[in-house]
Amino acid sequence: MTRYDALIARATKPARYTGGELNSIVKEWAVHPIRVCLAYPDLYDLGMSNLGLMILYDIVNRRPDALAERAFSPWTDMEALLREHDEPLRSLESRRALHEFDLLGITLQYEACYTNVLNLLDLGRVPLRTADRGDSDTVVIAGGSGALEPEPLAPFFDAFALGEGEEVLREILDVVASWKRERDAGAATRRDLHRRLARVPGVYVPSLYAVEYHADGRVRSTKPIDDAAPGRVSRRVVESLEPPITKPIVPFMEVVHDRATIEIQRGCTQGCRFCQAGMIYRPTRERTVDEVVRAAGELLESTGYDEISLMSLSTTDHREIVPMVHALVDAYGDRGLKISIPSTRVDSFSVDVANAVARGKKHTLTLAPEAGSQRLRNTINKLVSEQDLLSAVENAFANGWTSVKMYFMVGQPTETDFDVEEIVRLAREVRRIGRSHVGGRARVRVSTSNFIPKAHTPYQWLGQADPDTLRRRHQILRDGCRRIGVQFTWEEPEKSLLEAVLSRGDRRVADVIETAWRHGATFDSWSEHHDWAIWLHAFEAHGLDPAFYAYRTRDLWETLPWSHIHGGTEPSYLRSEWLKTLDEEITLDCKRDPCNVCGMQKLDGDCRHKIAELVQMKVEGDTTQRERLAQERERLAAALNVV
């Protein structure tokens, strides 16, 4: 037993670090010149439920010249053991330290893990900052949704892969392979690698850009300082989904989503204005029923699971979801197959689908109305009516469900206390319907998150609601839900404040992240570890005010920290969607209705031939929008200050 193995044996959950799981791949180090470690900056329990990690692991390991291994953030007990015994963090497959790999790919799934990124680098003995890495040091690349607002982490990464990773990863590996050969021959430097990576479409190399600021702290510009770097970097999109993963790694321990997963659809065009995923994963691409059924059979054989999750941003939006469910039940029902649908619309059709897959286990149905009043749902473009919700609930309780959980968001643009009180009224009506069908067994829960303005959405320019406002509205919900006998859970304002800063910060925030980490900030998404006082100290140490990033409403033509990153939807479209917010005007789903000219063509739609002309018309229309927005400024200010 090695010393590292002995430390694993002392950890709380050794299975997080042992490797050797079913379907994991261990390739011979010496005969594979490109060595990649795919790291997830949170616990194994969460990271092993990330389908993207499995997709990239499969892509790399299929190459004859490359190998992929995995690493995850160690829990605090294991980290303490590593530091006490001066041991580096190692990969699961070969027990190699992270600094031994040619390329370290880190998934940025949510902002609260950013200090964990630095912890991974430090534990793996990789220099924190790109500027401190030499030609032989590990190349550190980020992917995931967080990569589309890269500036707060820019000094720590050699490059960011923007958008969908299947194709761009292969191209990055080709660049690294050729550069490594030349480097080993003394003919290429790390700067040469950065220039080559910058020429790959969808790859952003921050060291090749300089940021200038106005005197008041706003970004003046982010411009390339090398002719290899483009002025604007656009995210990558795959035109059609590659075959689904059918031999995923099966953990030895229970993880968050302990079942097999098939991505049946990518992208969502419902157009919720607060939703970053709905904007940055466009367009919608679907798998066929036959492909899903074949993949399900292979998954059942290769994993031993008896449950399959049909994954998508909105699973019941798939045009063939009903025949798909029936085909899966017909093919594998006799094996005891259970089907999970993790994301559903708020309507009776979705409940019908949920009934079809429940197979007698009907406990909690989860719905996400997002707002209590119809006015606010129209404002945020949540395409669901109160009647849709009540019909869905009636359908659910009538068919044997005993519990309904509803997700709402607090602090949304133009929200008033009345909109919050409407959540209580809606919950009371849902509880009444439940009790009329299942009596005292009816359970209704209300769970809220705090609205966080996100990059590449129509709300990217808006300020977040301040903590006092959020606390007052939480109190309205606490009192109201207690009065009607409904369980209520909420999110603390300070955690949301941190996320708002990190999701819209500029490059100066990197110093704050490093200082917070050096003072003990890690696992900020875990309530027992989040310490806002550490972050306040870090902001003060660097003369930055979190309110500047979180609460300030930007001018709609302000240069944003991510203005040089193209998320797929054009700024003109996002501005027009903000105008519709003020008018309480909805935008229909272009999957079923005409193209909305967002700038991202529907690859499977009938508007491909029109898109270039329409986008040009929309861009030229910015002048008219500018005039209209000037007239709207007073109304905008009033809307944001409604109490």
Residues 60-92 pLDDT 10s: 999 999 999 999 999 999 999 999 999 999 999
Percentage of residues of the chain with pLDDT beyond 90: 81
Q: Is the pLDDT of residue 612 over 60?
A: no
Q: Which amino acid is at 530?
A: H
What pLDDT shows up at residue 359? 66
Higher pLDDT, 343 or 4: 4
Q: Decide: helix, strand or coil at residue 66.
A: strand
CB 106 within 8 A of CB 47: no
Q: What is the DSSP letter of 593?
A: S
| Strand (E) or helix (H) holding 535 | helix 532-541
Using alpha carbons only, what angle is made at residue 119 by residues 115 and 121, rounded to the nearest 5 degrees? 120
Higher pLDDT, 133 or 400: 133
Residues 89-125 pLDDT 10s: 999 999 999 999 999 999 999 999 999 999 999 999 9
CB 254 within 8 A of CB 48: no
CB 447 within 8 A of CB 427: no
Q: Decide: helix, strand or coil at residue 381.
A: coil
Q: Is the pLDDT of residue 351 over 90?
A: no
CB 241 within 8 A of CB 351: no
Residue 600's pLDDT band, with cuts at 50, 70 and 90, is confident
Q: Is the pLDDT of residue 635 over 60?
A: no
Judged by average pLDDT, the poorest of 89-98, 268-277, 328-337, 593-602 is 593-602
What pLDDT shows up at residue 641? 41
Using alpha carbons, select from 141, 66, 76, 69 the residue that is nearest to residue 104: 141
Average of per-residue pLDDT across 132-143:
98
Determine the distance from the C-alpha atom of residue 191 to the mean position of all C-alpha atoms in its chain, rounded to a whole number: 30
Residues 28-39 pLDDT 10s: 999 999 999 999
Residues 240-287 pLDDT 10s: 999 999 999 999 999 988 999 999 999 988 899 999 999 999 999 999
Relative to beta strand 307-311, strand 285-286 is unpaired
Locus of tokens 């390339």:
224
What pLDDT shows up at residue 637? 44
All domains in the chain, ordered by first residue: 3-234 (3.40.50.2300), 259-343 (3.30.750.210), 569-640 (no CATH)
Using alpha carbons, select from 409, 454, 462 the residue that is nearest to residue 276: 454
Residues 500-539 pLDDT 10s: 999 999 999 999 999 999 999 999 988 889 999 999 999 9
Residues 555-587 pLDDT 10s: 999 999 999 999 999 999 999 999 999 888 999
Q: Decide: helix, strand or coil at residue 310.
A: strand
In 100-202, which ranges are E strands? 103-107, 139-143, 159-161
Q: Produce one character per residue of 312-343: b if its CB has 16 or more CB atoms within 10 Å, e if not.
A: bbbbbbbebbeebbebbeeebeeeebbbbbeb
Judged by average pLDDT, the poorest of 50-59, 96-105, 470-479, 594-603 is 594-603
Average of per-residue pLDDT across 327-338:
92
Judged by average pLDDT, the poorest of 41-45, 198-202, 360-364, 481-485 is 360-364
Q: Is the pLDDT of residue 630 over 70?
A: no
What pLDDT shows up at residue 596? 83
What pLDDT shows up at residue 611? 40
Average of per-residue pLDDT across 459-479:
96
Residues 140-181 pLDDT 10s: 999 999 999 999 999 999 999 999 999 999 999 999 999 999
Cα atoms in the Cβ-side hemisphere of radius 13 Å centred on 33: 11
pTM recorded for the entire structure: 0.92
Q: Is the pLDDT of residue 597 over 60?
A: yes
Q: Is the pLDDT of residue 639 over 60?
A: no
- Residues with Cβ within 8 Å of 570's Cβ and at least 6 positions away in sequence, in order, are 598, 599, 615, 618, 619
What pLDDT shows up at residue 605? 45
Judged by average pLDDT, the poorest of 224-233, 260-269, 352-361, 416-425 is 352-361
CB 114 within 8 A of CB 535: no
Percentage of residues of the chain with pLDDT beyond 70: 93
Give the mean pLDDT of the chain. 91
CA distance 162 to 156: 16
Higher pLDDT, 355 or 519: 519
Query: Cis omega before residue 206 (within 30°)?
Result: no
Using alpha carbons only, what angle is made at residue 246 by residues 241 and 252, rounded to the nearest 5 degrees? 130
Q: Is the pLDDT of residue 643 over 60?
A: no
Cα atoms in the Cβ-side hemisphere of radius 13 Å centred on 168: 26
- Residues with Cβ within 8 Å of 312's Cβ and at least 6 positions away in sequence, in order, are 263, 264, 265, 266, 268, 318, 343
